[in-house]
Structure 1
Amino acid sequence: MSTTKLESIKDAALTAIKAAPSSKELYDLKVQYLGKSGSLTEIMKEMASLPKEEKPLFGKKVNEVKALLEQAYTEAEEALKKKEISSKMAAEEIDMTLPAMSRFKGTQHPVHIVTEEIFTVMARLGYSIRTGPLIEKDYYNFEALNIPADHPARDMQDTFYIDKSHVLRTHTSPIQIHSLETEKLPLRVIGTGPVFRSDSDISHLPNFHQIEALCVDEKVSMADLKGTISFFVREFFGPGLKTRFRPSFFPFTEPSAEVDCSCPICKGKGCSLCKQSGWIEIGGCGLVNPKVFQAAKIEYPKWQGFAFGFGIERMAIIKYGIEDIRLFPENDVRFLRQFVK
């Protein structure tokens, strides 16, 4: 009886294995017939009821059937894998004549874009670029700019001190002193780079970028300064924009002024960016203070000059209508994708 049952299991298993339509169903058949609780395992348990002399022969036949089914399974598995791979390749066939998918290639950071645009405008007026150390001596960051230790203007700078005589520069104005000390006059230079202040909110960063222009010649007046800034505003923000100058105070310029331009977004009509005033503050300016020339050992009034400076992030905010300065250092791709040149 056990031998007849074994033959029946063999025939049924071989037929099912050859007809299996997929690798999953084939594996299920392997479990059904060859698994730990499969048909062959169960029939082996019947050996206990066979006469002693029949057990070796029956065990041999069981092993032969098991080997036959394993071989049939292996052959069927290989055939199904080849068939499935061929079907998958046919379904995923690539049409090489189709146009390639477009991919985002990245872009320059808006701070870099704005910096380059400012350089381009100022280069047309004869200005060249200068940089300076990020860790600056207290002398160059403050004293040479007419900001001694007891000067109230020190309170205007939220300074990161390295030690008693060195700071992370709080502005790009020290580049003026380095240029006055080392270069021949007359000169027109732009100092640029990162600056650092202990301040952070929706309109301030502890690390931001400035650009500062310095012009020194034998005859320089406030009219030259106003004309230069007015030209820059029109070239950078667009034609038709107006500028205005409000009296202010900076230790290193005298007289000093804050510079406003008509809002580039609403063209002076009033919007949320300019707080409905039609005007936006863009920076500070003034004629170089004689005490700055004195510190740099420049003969005054033979040589005169003017300087003005802007925050680069602020210029980008005004140009593009950005509402939060903290977006610049985050490098969120969703933000940066808006500035593809």
Structure 2
Amino acid sequence: MDLFEKIENIKKEFEKNIDECLDAKRLEEIRTLYLGRKSEFTQILKSLASLPEETRRELGKKANDCKNYAASKIEELAKQLESRSEDKQRASLDVTLPGIIKKEGSLHPLTQTISRISDIFISLGFAIADGPEIETEFYNFEALNIPLDHPSRDAFDTFYIQGKYLLRSHTSNVQIRIMRETEPPIQVIMPGRVYRPDAVDASHSFMFHQVEGLMVDKKISFSDLKGILSIFCRSMFGEKTKTRLRPHFFPFTEPSVEIDISCIMCSGKGCRVCSGSGWLEIMGAGMVNPKVFKAVGYDNEKYKGFAFGMGVERIAMLSHGIDDIRLFYENDVRFLRQFV
């Protein structure tokens, strides 16, 4: 059999295979068989160099024509198979079926609460500051007038990492860093995570969130503290909310107070939530202790200031009537969907 006959036979074999082809997988096999680098058409074209010129020209033309013919038939069938597949998909599509409704996500309730608290203080002229969660004893304790023998510095009450490094137990460390790096006036809030080795129960967690605030200038007074926090409480819990200040003790403020609000559940009449007192404790505050100013290098005769701090989880629990702090961390979508 000469090469001319061989080309004709390959063409007939190709036409038989292409007529019987019913799917894309088989078509790809045919493409490789007749157009691939190891196909018979390719081998014939490679062998032409050894033939006489006249024969080489005629045989080369015939082989190329057959190869181009095979390529066009394969391309044509590929389009037909693709069209059939699309038609089949359209035929199987039931347009009367209800669509798949994707559930919208939302910010976590604690993130929502931090944002709401931040918005209120931003409207009062406060900026937002942040700081490290891994801290030294100086920024977490010493500069805040918390001495070495204070209970909070015990290993049972603080997450120590190694040496004098620890996980911050409050965001007050950011107050110290800001005052050491900035000259007054200062008016900032500091939201963030804090860590204490508390046993987890309905009202305690080893990790929780705080928002602390600091205001320092030449003529800051206790009345500024009371006015700012009264506005915050009314903005956060409603215009009818009353505030009460009770004397307290914090090492980093002097004088120090606890801030209470009239119970948002019973409007101050007394209920289970407020233990019948009509009041709910929400934060601690006070005028910055002169020893803190000394630690950051401020002139206590020239500058005065106040600081406050609140637990975000407590604010969120009061705002939404939640009675178990663990719900915030369990990632139960049935709980979280309430805040979409």
Asked if these proteins are the same fold (TM beyond 0.5), I'd say yes
Please list, as runs of the form range in 1=range in 2, the aligned pairs for 1:101-116 lying within 5 A after superposition: 102-116=101-115
What residue is the counterpart of 1:268 in the other structure? 268
Between the two proteins, the alignment pairs up a number of residues equal to 250
What whole-Å deviation, never above 9, does each CA across 1:309-339 have from its counterpart, x for those lacking one?
A: 0000110001001000011111110110111
Q: 1-side partners of 2:283 and 2:310: how far apart?
A: 5
Q: 2-side partners of 1:156 and 1:259: how far apart?
A: 29
Structure 1 residue 158 corresponds to structure 2 residue 157: yes
What residue is the counterpart of 1:241 in the other structure? 241
CA 104–122 in structure 1, closer or farther in 2 if over 3 Å, else same:
same
Are 1:261 and 1:279, in contact at CA under 8 Å, matched by a contact in 2? yes
Structure 1 residue 131 corresponds to structure 2 residue 130: yes
Q: 1-side partners of 2:251 and 2:152: how far apart?
A: 7
Runs of 4+ in 1 over 4 A off after TM superposition: none
Q: 2-side partners of 1:267 and 1:297: how far apart?
A: 45
Are 2:114 and 2:312, in contact at CA under 8 Å, matched by a contact in 1? yes
CA 245–155 in structure 1, closer or farther in 2 if over 3 Å, else same:
farther
Please list, as runs of the form range in 1=range in 2, the aligned pairs for 1:2-13 lying within 5 A after superposition: none
Could you tell me which amino acid in structure 2 is paired with residue 320 of structure 1? Answer: H
Q: 1-side partners of 2:328 and 2:316: how far apart?
A: 10
Deviates more, 1:137-146 or 1:100-109: 100-109
How far apart are 1:106 and its partner, in Å?
1.6
How far apart are 1:274 and its partner, in Å?
1.7
What residue is the counterpart of 1:93 in the other structure? 94
> How many percent of aligned residue pairs carry the same amino acid?
52
What residue is the counterpart of 1:42 in the other structure? none
What residue is the counterpart of 1:304 in the other structure? 304
Please list, as runs of the form range in 1=range in 2, the aligned pairs for 1:28-177 lying within 5 A after superposition: 93-95=94-96, 100=99, 102-152=101-151, 154=153, 158-177=157-176
What residue is the counterpart of 1:316 in the other structure? 316
Give the aligned CA root-mean-square deviation in angstroms: 1.9
**Secondary structure of the structure 1 residue equivalent to 2:325:** coil
Could you tell me which amino acid in structure 1 is paired with residue 218 of structure 2? Answer: E
Q: 2-side partners of 1:184 and 1:126: how far apart?
A: 17
What residue is the counterpart of 1:228 in the other structure? 228
What residue is the counterpart of 1:337 in the other structure? 337
Please list, as runs of the form range in 1=range in 2, the aligned pairs for 1:138-217 lying within 5 A after superposition: 138-152=137-151, 154=153, 158-199=157-198, 200-217=200-217
How far apart are 1:247 and its partner, in Å?
0.7
Q: 2-side partners of 1:163 and 1:249: how far apart?
A: 30
Are 1:172 and 1:210, in contact at CA under 8 Å, matched by a contact in 2? yes
TM-score (norm 1): 0.70
Are 2:151 and 2:157, in contact at CA under 8 Å, matched by a contact in 1? no
Could you tell me which amino acid in structure 2 is paired with residue 133 of structure 1? Answer: P
Q: 1-side partners of 2:264 and 2:216: how far apart?
A: 30
Could you tell me which amino acid in structure 2 is paired with residue 206 of structure 1? Answer: F
How far apart are 1:268 and its partner, in Å?
1.7
How far apart are 1:158 and its partner, in Å?
1.6
Could you tell me which amino acid in structure 2 is paired with residue 244 of structure 1? Answer: R
**Secondary structure of the structure 2 residue equivalent to 1:287:** strand
**Structure 2: gaps spanning 5 or more residues:** 1-87
How far apart are 1:173 and its partner, in Å?
0.6
Deviates more, 1:108-117 or 1:183-192: 183-192
Larger radius of gyration: 1
Q: 1-side partners of 2:204 and 2:180: how far apart?
A: 32
Are 1:216 and 1:303, in contact at CA under 8 Å, matched by a contact in 2? yes
